[in-house]
Amino acid sequence: MPPEILTLIDHPLSLIAVLFVGALAGMMVEQFVSKQRREAWKRKNEWRWKNKGKVKAGPWTPKPDAAPAKVPDAADQLRTVMKADFKAQPLLNKSETRLFKALDKMVIEMRPGWQVMAQVSLGEILKCEDKDAYLCINSKRVDLLIVDGDCKPIHAIEYQGRGHFKGAHHTAARDAVKKEALRRAGIGYVEVVAGDTPAELRRVVERLVRQ
């Protein structure tokens, strides 16, 4: 056995000191190696942390649900309205106004208690249990509507002015929806063309009040 070992054995305190120093050195080496490994792992995965949440979704990545659009409540609507400028405008244009006055006068003469209303929403005079069908007509209007003494809708009158046939395909499809909904509700539908004479209008009204 080497003399150095024999000397340490003969002096137990020296042996303990050597063992302690050796253990301490081993711990320091282990900590140093672990630190180096952690630093290497951080460098390797650094891009993941920097791009967290920015990685483009691929076909295999579940897409997050889109945030639902906020529905404006009364307070939101009021704030929007308070920032806007409003101006009154005529309910009918000049030719529609002339037709309205003429038809209203004829209807009242022929059927006292009946009258003509203008720009009536179909959503106000029709109801339907089918929500989808109701939404198809809710925002549509008829130019004129004849109602009886109880305000029950009797006949709808559509005025085909000179500009009515611009975009004729779209207009015809829209009118067909209104006409079919009114027919199913038992409400008459008639079209009046621009240029009809008072005598022609009177014949139309006579036919309607007889029905």
| pLDDT band at residue 155 using 50, 70 and 90 as cut-offs | very high
Mean pLDDT (the chain, rounded): 80
For residue 37, the model assigns a pLDDT of 74
Burial of residue 111, with CB atoms counted within 10 A of its CB: 0-12 exposed, 13-18 middle, 19 or more buried: middle
Minimum mean pLDDT range among 83-97, 136-150, 151-165: 151-165
| pTM of the predicted structure, to 2 decimals | 0.62
The length of the chain in residues reads: 211
**Rounded mean pLDDT, 103-112:** 94
pLDDT at residue 138 greater than cutoff 90 = yes
pLDDT at residue 40 greater than cutoff 80 = no
Chain-centre distance for alpha carbon 156: 31
In which residue are the tokens 């008829």 written?
A: 142
Q: Round to whole Å and give the CA distance between 62 and 60.
A: 6
**Rounded mean pLDDT, 178-203:** 92
pLDDT at residue 103 greater than cutoff 90 = yes
Q: Which of 169, 167, 163 is nearest to 193 (CA)?
A: 163
- Give me the residues paired with residue 116 across strands: 146
**Rounded mean pLDDT, 182-195:** 93
pLDDT at residue 57 greater than cutoff 60 = no
> pLDDT above 70 covers what percent of the chain?
66
Q: Round to whole Å and give the CA distance between 113 and 101.
A: 16
